[in-house]
Amino acid sequence: MKFTDQTGSTIILENPPTKIISVVPSQTELLFDLGLQDEVIGITKFCIHPDEWLKTKTRIGGTKKLDIEKIFQLQPDIIFANKEENERTDIEVLKAHFPVWISDIKDLKSANEMILSIGEITGKEQKALNIVSDIRNQFDSLHFSMIKQCIYLIWNNPIMTVGGDTFINDMLQYAGYHNLTNQQKRYPELSIDQLKKLNPELVLLSSEPFPFSQEHIKYFKALLPFSKVIKVDGEMFSWYGSRLLKSPLYFSKLRSEIENAS
């Protein structure tokens, strides 16, 4: 069986995989929701959903620093990776010995395509179809009368935000926000002066990868006295697996909280 991943590479499997390693947290959660409890044998230390897998599955390092030796010991039938979240050098080493299927997620469309592909590869086509159908229906129901101008911060010192070619930017649009840095690429840095010049209506501080705290909220409020500064659940904006089933409801609740606090 031949499968082409989202980077254009082809892998060949003789049989449906029974020993799976996931090196991407959002895809690990998807594998759980597809019902692959027995097949998944290895995950990263950042694969926190589901909690039971974090306690019981073999941990093979972090997304950016995989334990290659441990992966070789496990001898997986397939490894599910991501172009952005994993280091290219690690993936190249693994590709020389194991089938590695790599996702490349830019928007909701490519996220749904990934879910369907993983469902096909693992023999869980119907469950994947059901998940994607539910995701599409929920996102189609999102309608916001007013678009809020925002900056979405993922890191502090240096201050980093998201460009228009990212999955997070696509989620911001669905959630009813206009990303003021959508003309930039990937994850640009912002100086304090640039941030002040943008003068956003909202500053959204993501809960990951940087752990923004109440002190950071106070700091940015002092910098931007005319902006509303809010900490948001980063998983809802950046996880592109089955967690997308939960994002639309979260987006709606978040907008209600913002509008009620105005």
Q: What is the DSSP string of 141-179?
A: T---SSPEEEEEE-BTTTEE---TTSHHHHHHHHTTEEE
126 in any annotated domain? no
CB burial string 86-121: b at 16+ within 10 A, e below: beeebbebbeeebbbbbbebebbebbbbbbebbbeb
- Report which residue type is found at 28: T
Residues 93 and 15 in one domain: yes
112 in any annotated domain? no
3-state secondary structure of 227: coil
pLDDT (mean) for 31-35: 98
Of 46, 76, 105, which residue sits at a domain end?
A: 105
> What is the span of the domain harbouring residue 163?
148-261
Whether 159 has a pLDDT exceeding 60, the answer reads yes
Residues 246 and 164 in one domain: yes
Residues 195 and 93 in one domain: no
Question: What's the number of domains the chain is made of?
Answer: 2
pLDDT at 262: 57
216 in any annotated domain? yes
List the CATH number of the domain containing 59: 3.40.50.1980
pLDDT at 224: 97
140 in any annotated domain? no
What percentage of the chain exceeds 70 in pLDDT? 99
CB 194 within 8 A of CB 160: no
85 in any annotated domain? yes
pLDDT (mean) for 106-133: 98
Place of tokens 């913002």: 258
Whether 146 has a pLDDT exceeding 90, the answer reads no
**How far is the CA of 187 from the CAs of 68, 85, 151, 164, 169, in angstroms?**
28, 13, 12, 9, 11
pLDDT at 53: 97
pLDDT (mean) for 103-121: 98
Of 51, 71, 105, which residue sits at a domain end?
A: 105
pLDDT at 145: 81
Q: Is the dihedral of CA 158, 162, 168, 173 positive or negative?
A: positive
